[in-house]
Structure 1
Amino acid sequence: WSPSSGGHLSSWAEPQAPFLSWKSNECEQWLQFLGLSQYSAALRCWQSAAPSNHLSRATPQQLDKQLGVRHPLHRKKLQLAINARMGVEGSLGRTSPGEHIEGMAASSSWVSQWLDDVGLPQYKELFHEARVDPRVLNVLTWDDLAFLKVTSLLHATSLKRGIQVLREYNFDSSSLIRRSGLAAIDSTADNSDNNNTGVNCNGSVGSQGHEVCLWSNHRVMEWLKTVHLSEYAPNLRGSGVHGALLVYEVRFNSEVLAALLSIPSNKTLLRRHLNTHFKELVGREVVVEKRQVEEAPGYIALSTLTKIKPSKKSQFSLKRRSGKGRSGQMLEFDDLLCPLEERPPRATVQHSSIQNSPETRLC
């Protein structure tokens, strides 16, 4: 371990004893492994003050006052990691990342790569400072975005859809498609009469089974080149556009994409060309669903300029788990950026869920 590594242990030998029996130095090494080494000294003092003081039993209030973990996302990361060690699922259920997440939680490169994938590399430093890992991403709230300085509604929506597709693949970011090599998809540029080409409700493209919802920002830029829009492709860098945003976000359409690409509004033929290929890419059923949402009363269009205004509610609440044999806290989160019940698009749209979403809290 070294300071230049961001406070992470490059390797860590996990103790054989249960978490409740870990010694003080073992708890300190685990904090370093999680990238939270700045709290090791305070943890040592607190645990040595009384035999009952142990990291496994620390409450959020103790993490704040005794350990000095005042950064809300650091506290959330540590509480989630403690609960995972104690086997406390809380309200997360099956949608929480699997056991393989522990190593990913200690790697700052995982989130950096993912931010590249969703087209938001400008937030790398802020996510790194907040020590965001897959567990934190899974329960990221709208209020958390303020600490990450995400103020754009479009960027927040990009993160939301990126988290959604990660959940479907148990946070295995290697499932994302970062480069081309999918001839069947590239051929859509020269196959506009094929009405079967596109993404079905489950995200698959035609009969080839390729997943546009897994496309990274770079892969979308490659697709633009195949539909003869290569001069505009570089404009997607830092835009937050990726496959899951195209497919899963019902308010994302070719007009939003054209605005992000900086295609002038007076170039109607070019915008029509983009619209044609966009529809081919996402598929007929997704296009129909997007149109249904647009025609619903109270529809709020997705804009590249809209800002979000987080509420001032607390980021999460805690409840004691009842019953014997288990310690720890049960976490319950309000206003998740990506609700746990979020699913891929369906033919029937429940527009009321959009109207009542925190996304309607706009500046």
Structure 2
Amino acid sequence: MSTWKANQVLAWLEIVINMPMYGKTCSENVKSGKVLLGLSDSELGSALCITNPMHRKKIRLAIEEQRNPGEAKYPKSCRLDHTWIAHRWIPDLGLSQYKCEFENNLVDGRILNILSKKEMEKHLNIHRKFHHASVLHAVELLRRLNFDKEVLIERRSKSEEGDTDPLVWTNERVIKWVQSIDLEEYAENLKDSGVHGAILVLEPQFNADTLATALGIPPSKSYIRRHLKTELESLVKPARDNLTLNNSFSTLGRNSTLGRSFRGPNLDTSGSKTRISFRGSLGRAFGRKVKEDLNKLTIDVETPKRKISAPSDFKHNTLQSVFEQEITPKTNSS
């Protein structure tokens, strides 16, 4: 880059890193690659008239990679442009509601590799803790594949032929699997939930109760939940066994977005009806509408003496309690 002329810098900015909106100011203020390399963050922003901090970060990461190309840990991350991230990768996670934010902030593979929870909240409008976890586990999968898009696509294509390699499953593939285990009436509830293969396999706290909550299966449907648990364990356990536990779970522990301040729902079993009650920050996490919907949920108990109690896992700040607060279950009344 230090030997580039002004026209080479412009071509790199507009074509290679897909930021033509700054081409005019670049041609006016940056006359060589050497000048570009010498700009500080503040100078870079003023020279190119960049007000968006994520745009500035994207250019800075690309410049640093040009300065020391041999030190790039994931050189193929630059091949994941923001268009593919926003229109293919994000929808595959079941998070299409954030597509515009990722596209407007020009999030590419380099940014994904160092994306923080704070940036997700501040710039990408992602506030739900489970959605943080969903994105971070998906990024961890990309790291495991060295950000090789072709490998990811190939493995996903092969996994369509059977219930294999759930680590790379998209949200749509998980929905297809739920339909295949005779839970069609609940499957569509996983849309826009952030549930995909990487979080199924890589998140140690993700279990059948978490998935049942996402699917909107009422606690009273004990046989259906037991069926789901059996099917999920047979799917996920082999995939987890194939991972190097120390490497996978220690890495994911650092990326965990599951806070300690969240609590699961308390089940009030007084009377002949069992009703879910909410405390703490649960109402804020769900939003007023979802809270009202779930407050209307009643579960018939055939034997009054046999009370329904919350699973013991709720006492340990598990992903289940976060999910019950963050994801909107669409309860099937049948």
> What RMSD, in angstroms, separates the aligned Cα atoms of the two structures?
3.5
Aligned partner of 2:165 in structure 1 is 211
The reply on whether 1:39 has 2:18 as its aligned counterpart is no
Distance 1:71 1:42, change over 3 A: same
Secondary structure of residue in 1 paired with 2:30 = helix
Q: What's the CA shift for 1:137?
A: 0.4
How many residues matched? 259
Distance 1:96 1:245, change over 3 A: farther
Q: What's the CA shift for 1:222?
A: 1.4
Q: What's the CA shift for 1:155?
A: 0.7
Aligned partner of 1:275 in structure 2 is 229
Aligned residues: percent identity? 30
Q: Which one-letter code corresponds to 1:240 in the other structure?
A: G
Q: What's the CA shift for 1:118?
A: 1.4
Aligned partner of 1:70 in structure 2 is 51
Distance 1:216 1:97, change over 3 A: farther
The reply on whether 1:59 has 2:40 as its aligned counterpart is yes
Aligned partner of 1:122 in structure 2 is 97
Secondary structure of residue in 2 paired with 1:283 = helix
Residue 97 of structure 1 contacts residue 134 of structure 1 at CA under 8 Å; is this kept in 2?
A: no
Structure 2: how far apart are the matches of 1:131 and 1:69? 13
Structure 2: how far apart are the matches of 1:230 and 1:359? 32
Residue by residue over 1:106-155, the C-alpha shift from the partner in whole angstroms, topping out at 9 and shown as x without a partner, is x5134421112211111111101000011110110111102000001111
Secondary structure of residue in 1 paired with 2:192 = coil
Aligned partner of 1:21 in structure 2 is 3
Q: What's the CA shift for 1:70?
A: 2.3
Secondary structure of residue in 2 paired with 1:69 = coil
Structure 2: how far apart are the matches of 1:163 and 1:113? 14
Aligned partner of 2:314 in structure 1 is none
Residue 213 of structure 1 contacts residue 244 of structure 1 at CA under 8 Å; is this kept in 2?
A: yes
Structure 1: how far apart are the matches of 2:86 and 2:180? 29
Picking from 99, 106, 116, the partner of 1:141 is 116
Greater length-normalized contact order (CA 8 Å, ≥ 6 residues apart): 1
Secondary structure of residue in 2 paired with 1:239 = coil
Q: What's the CA shift for 1:244?
A: 0.9
The reply on whether 1:241 has 2:195 as its aligned counterpart is yes
5+ residue gaps, structure 2, are 263-334
Structure 2: how far apart are the matches of 1:23 and 1:217? 45
Structure 2: how far apart are the matches of 1:344 and 1:70? 43
Residue 95 of structure 2 contacts residue 194 of structure 2 at CA under 8 Å; is this kept in 1?
A: yes
Residue 201 of structure 2 contacts residue 236 of structure 2 at CA under 8 Å; is this kept in 1?
A: yes
Aligned partner of 1:108 in structure 2 is 83
Q: What's the CA shift for 1:46?
A: 2.3
Aligned partner of 1:87 in structure 2 is 68
Secondary structure of residue in 1 paired with 2:48 = coil
Q: What's the CA shift for 1:360?
A: 5.0
Q: What's the CA shift for 1:96?
A: 5.2
TM-score, structure 2 normalization: 0.67
The reply on whether 1:230 has 2:184 as its aligned counterpart is yes
Give the structure with the larger helix fraction: 2
Aligned partner of 2:142 in structure 1 is 166
Secondary structure of residue in 2 paired with 1:164 = helix
Residue by residue over 1:33-80, the C-alpha shift from the partner in whole angstroms, topping out at 9 and shown as x without a partner, is 2232222222233225xx897222222121223322221211111111
Distance 1:356 1:277, change over 3 A: closer
The reply on whether 1:264 has 2:218 as its aligned counterpart is yes
Structure 1: how far apart are the matches of 2:119 and 2:88? 20
Q: Which one-letter code corresponds to 2:177 in the other structure?
A: W
Q: Which one-letter code corresponds to 1:237 in the other structure?
A: K
Q: What's the CA shift for 1:224?
A: 0.8
Q: What's the CA shift for 1:267?
A: 1.3
Residue by residue over 1:231-281, the C-alpha shift from the partner in whole angstroms, topping out at 9 and shown as x without a partner, is 211111111111110011112111111111111222111111111111111
Residue 286 of structure 1 contacts residue 347 of structure 1 at CA under 8 Å; is this kept in 2?
A: no
Identify the range of structure 1 (73-82 vs 111-120) with the bigger mean alpha-carbon deviation. 111-120
Aligned partner of 1:195 in structure 2 is none
Structure 1: how far apart are the matches of 2:47 and 2:3? 20
Q: Which one-letter code corresponds to 1:54 in the other structure?
A: V
Structure 2: how far apart are the matches of 1:85 and 1:67? 18
5+ residue gaps, structure 1, are 1-18, 90-94, 188-209, 288-342
TM-score, structure 1 normalization: 0.62
Aligned partner of 2:206 in structure 1 is 252
Residue 46 of structure 1 contacts residue 66 of structure 1 at CA under 8 Å; is this kept in 2?
A: yes
Distance 1:180 1:97, change over 3 A: closer
